[in-house]
Amino acid sequence: MFEDRKVKAETYAKAQPLLKPDAIFASNTSTLPINSLAEEFKDQGKFIGIHFFSPVEKMMLVEIILGKNTGDVALATALDYVRVIGKTPIVVNDSRGFFANRCVLRYIAEGNEMFLEGVPPAMIENTAKMAGMPVGPLSLSDEVALDLGLKIMKATEADLGPNSINQDQKKLMVELVEKQGRFGRKNSKGFYDYPEKGKGQKSLWPGLSALQPKQLDPDTLDIEELKQRFLVVQAVEAARTVEDHVITDHARGRCRLDPRLRLCAVHRRHAVLYRLHGHAKSSSSSATSSRPNTARASRRRNCWKTWRRGRDLYGRFPPKKQAA
C-alpha cells in the first residue's frame, strides 16, 4: 500500500465493514500525516500510525504516531503489539514524515544534492560512512526503494505545492524510476546494480555519470566539508522536529535512534495500561469469588514492575532512598 491518499481511502472504506467494534486500525504510512488519513475513518479514536522501517526484519525501531483524536486504548494496544513482536517503539506526534523519516529523507536529499552538484557517487557514499552513518545515502535510497521516494515526492507536491520539494531531485528520480526502470534493491537496479544472491557484491551503476549535470574532480573536493554537510543536515532536522512538537510530551527514556533525545514510551505506556486494567483493590464480591481474575492481577503486577524498572533505569522518577 503506497503513498496515495485515494488508494488508502478506498482501502479504509472496504476494511471498515469487516472490523469488530473494538478493533484498532493502524496505518504504516511513511510520510502522509495521520490526522489527514484519519478523516477517512469513522471512529478516529481507534485510528493510529504504526510505522515500520525497511528492511522490517532487521530494523528494531517502530514509530507510533498519535493523531489529534487518537484514544488511549489505541495507543496502549499499539504499544503492546509492538512490544509483543520484539520491536522498540517510540511515540511521536503527527507531522509529515513524523520523526525518523524527516531526518532520513533529509539525509538522502543531501546525498542526491551532492550527486547533482557533480560529486562522484563513490565519494558521497564513503564520506557519509566516515561521518558515522551506517550506510551511504545512495545505498539507503535503494533500500527504501526509489519508486517509493518518487511517490513521496509527488504526494508532498500535491499537498503543499511545487516549492515543497526539490524539482531537480524529482527529475533525477523520474529519470531513474520511470525512464530507466530502476526501483532500487527490490528489482536489483537502482543507484547500484545488485547481483543474484551469492554471486558477487553490489556495484555502482556505470550509467550514473550520464545523469550528472557536471562532474567535479575528486582531488579538488574537501572530504571534511562533505562530512560536515551530512552531520549538519541531520542535526538541524532533528532540532526542527523538537520545535514542531513532533516529540510527544510524554515520551521519555531511551531510543536506539539517538539516545540524546531520550525517546521512549515506557512510562506513558504503563500509565495507560494500568488505568485501563484498573488498579483499585478488589471488591468484596471478587475477593470472595472462587475464581479470582489472575490474568488481570498479573497485568497489574507487571505494570508496576516495569514502571519501577523504568523509573530506576531512566531517571524519570526519583529512585528510592537506599537504607543506610
Question: Could you tell me the CA-to-CA distances from 260 to 248, 252, 274 in Å, in that order?
Answer: 15, 11, 28
Q: Which of the following is catalytic: 51, 245, 277, 279? A: 51
Nearest Cα neighbor of 316 from 258, 241, 246, 249 is 249
* Amino acid identity at 234: Q
Burial class (CB in 10 A: 0-12, 13-18, 19+), 52: middle
Q: How far is CA 26 from the centre of its chain?
A: 14
- First vs last Cα of the chain: how many Å apart? 60
Q: Is 91 helix (H, G, I), strand (E, B) or coil?
A: strand
Burial class (CB in 10 A: 0-12, 13-18, 19+), 40: middle
Q: Is 272 helix (H, G, I), strand (E, B) or coil?
A: helix
How is residue 281 written as a grid cell? 483493590
Q: How many other CB atoms sit within 10 Å of the CB of residue 107?
A: 20
Instruction: Give catalytic status of residue 267 as yes or no.
Output: no
Burial class (CB in 10 A: 0-12, 13-18, 19+), 261: middle
**Residue whose grid cell is 567535479:** 216
Which amino acids are annotated catalytic? Answer: 51
